[in-house]
Amino acid sequence: MLMQQDADILIVGGGPVGATLALALRDTGHAVTMLEAREQGASSQDQRALALSYGSRLILERLGVWSELAATATPIETIHISQRGSFGRSLLKAAEHNQPALGYVLSYGALSTVLNRALADMSNLRVVYGAQATAIDGTGDSAKVMFEHAGGTTALSASLAVVADGGRSLEDLPGLQRHNRDYGHAALVTKVECELAHGNIAYERFTPAGPVALLPNGKAFSLVWTATPEIAQQLCDLDEAEFLQRLHGHFGDRLGRFLSVGKRMTFPLKLSYLSPVTSPRLVVIGNAAQTMHPVAGQGFNIGLRDAWELADIVGSTAPEKIGSDAMLKSYQQGRQADTKGGILFTDFLVRLFSNDIGGLSALRAAGLGLLDLLPPAKRLLVGKMSFGARG
């Protein structure tokens, strides 16, 4: 062991959720240390698409970084929801809900670059890149985090440790139980260009094999295609022309021909969440705390709200009470409705739409058509999508 270091708050994970937490702690006066497993700048070229809710935009505005992101973010002004094989559909329009957009699409790399630039200006933050956390012990008066860095092992103590690394490094956390549900599906993600312009419309199309989503991204679309793992891999292995033909047959003619496709990747879909998300001197936030099906774009946005609300609680807690049982209980109770609501909502959509049970298809189609005729129901749905449980 090389040395012991101290901080008020230690954040494991320097991705967007961890960075949001650090920036939200900027004016608290607390000494913050962040451990990031990747090397500095490694995430800047990551072209994975992120779907930000309108509420997440407001968080980024409060952090002072949205003005830099706005030029690279594609607004979603309308969401078109439909079911394959039926005429039922619903339209959600930002203009009808007094919002400039229902959400925004931008790359992980663009968001990371802007957040990291802001982090570099923080006087109360120390970032250790290439640091892989290996263990956390919160049984004493402080949280002790072990991590590997530069060929050695270091122990760092802090009043509060926050795990925000998407669950990549620490599989078993003391006092926390992980619950998993495998949906038996995989998501194929890529970027496609279409014959017709997207008009800032996002499409969510439900099929018996799972939803397919097209999100406007620049002049193209980001595609999330749900299928069984075997079919998803087969789709990945197709040549470009055959893949585009299969996509057209699956999605339909609404956007004309699909002209090109980028690099294709797949990942398994599951529901995974911790219960509880706190233990002595420790909080877990973001995808490390709850990983959801991407059907409604909730997971990442819930993670940003985790970070924002945790920072708010830290800012209103006396320094000697940081990491205390009372503070952790306050966070757990404050976030419970939002996280559980997101889990139940996405799980409900998957179970309702990703099947071909006799008679249910007609009911789903009728439900989508009815939603389009009920403005209060649409307001409730848009509020939940934009702001979570408080929407």
Residue 295 in 3-state DSSP? helix
pLDDT digits 0-9 by tens, 40-81: 999 988 999 999 999 999 999 999 999 999 999 999 999 998
Instruction: Please answer whether residues 190 and 223 qualify as being in contact, where contact means their C-beta atoms are separated by less than 8 angstroms.
Output: yes
Mean pLDDT of 352-375: 60
Residue 349 φ/ψ, nearest 5 degrees: -60, -40
Buried b (16+ CB within 10 A) or exposed e, 115-154: bbebbeebebbebbeebbbeebbbeeebbbbebebeeeeb
Q: Which residues of 64-81 are buried (b: 16+ CB within 10 A; e: fewer)?
A: ebbebbeebbbbbbbbbb
Residue the block writes with tokens 């006066």? 29
Determine how β-strand 132-137 pairs with β-strand 143-149: antiparallel
Give yes or no for a contact between 23 and 9, defined as CB atoms under 8 angstroms apart.
no
Cα angle: 349, vertex 278, 303; to 5 degrees? 45
pTM of the full structure: 0.92
Instruction: Encode pLDDT of 242-287 as tens digits.
Output: 999 999 999 988 899 999 999 999 999 999 999 999 999 999 999 9
pLDDT value, residue 362: 56
**What's domain 4-45+109-178+272-351's superfamily in CATH?**
FAD/NAD(P)-binding domain (3.50.50.60)
Domain range summary for the chain, segments of one domain joined by +? 4-45+109-178+272-351
* Best mean pLDDT range from 57-66, 146-155, 171-180: 57-66
What torsion do the CA atoms of 364, 365, 371, 377 make, to the nearest 10 degrees? 10
